[in-house]
């Protein structure tokens, strides 16, 4: 076990300088480059991603407060955004209603246009 964990070579033959990770720096970089090629985020996903991370920061800092599910009043909720440019204006849904909401969103034919620029409120709050 010990000797196995301490193997210093990556499968490429280079010394693995990122132990206990599986790959050396070179291999990891290569792997990430390949991964990016096949896992590109579209602008909508990017905006969504960004919005969520802003919102979770606001939540931690108490700028945002959780509310019960707006459909069934359940207390365990997830955020849902009508507009990804407004991370301070999430709607709250329980697991079940969140899934329904997301499915509705995916069914919408016309993607909403999102600006991928900075949130104007960023400088004030963060
Ligand atoms: Zn390697
Ligand atoms: Zn609900």
Does one domain contain both 27 and 64? no
Confidence of residue 2 (pLDDT cuts 50, 70, 90): very low
Statement: the pTM of the whole predicted model exceeds 0.75: no
Q: What pLDDT score does 22 carry?
A: 86
Domain total in the chain: 2
How far away, in angstroms, is 29 Cα from ligand 1 center? 9
Return the pLDDT at 7.
Answer: 64
Domain hosting 85: range is 43-125
What's the gap in Å between 1 CA and the centre of ligand 1? 21
Tell whether 109 and 57 lie within a shared domain: yes
For 123, the token pair is 């400088």
User: Of 77, 82, 86, 83, which is closest to residue 58 (Cα–Cα)?
Assistant: 86
Same domain, 56 and 104: yes
The number of the ligand nearest the C-alpha atom of 24 reads 1
Separation in Å, CA 86 to CA 62, 92, 100, 125:
16, 14, 21, 13
Question: Is residue 58 domain-shared with residue 102, that is, in the same domain?
Answer: yes
Q: Which ligand is nearest to the CA of 78?
A: 2
Is the pLDDT reported for residue 125 higher than 50?
no
Q: Is the domain of 117 the same as that of 59? A: yes
Residue 51 near residue 87, CB atoms below 8 Å: yes
């Amino acid at each position: 076990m010990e000797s196995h964990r301490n193997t210093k070579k990556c499968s490429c033959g280079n010394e693995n300088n990122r132990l206990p990770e599986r790959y050396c720096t070179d291999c990891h970089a290569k792997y990430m480059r390949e991964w990016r090629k096949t896992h590109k985020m579209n602008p909508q996903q990017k905006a969504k991603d960004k919005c969520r991370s802003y919102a979770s920061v606001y939540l931690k800092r108490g700028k945002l407060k959780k509310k019960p599910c707006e459909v069934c009043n359940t207390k365990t909720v997830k955020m849902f955004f009508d507009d990804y440019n407004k991370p301070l204006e999430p709607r709250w849904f329980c697991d079940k209603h969140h899934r329904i909401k997301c499915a509705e969103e995916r069914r919408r034919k016309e993607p909403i246009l999102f600006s991928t620029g900075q949130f104007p409120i960023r400088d004030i709050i963060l």
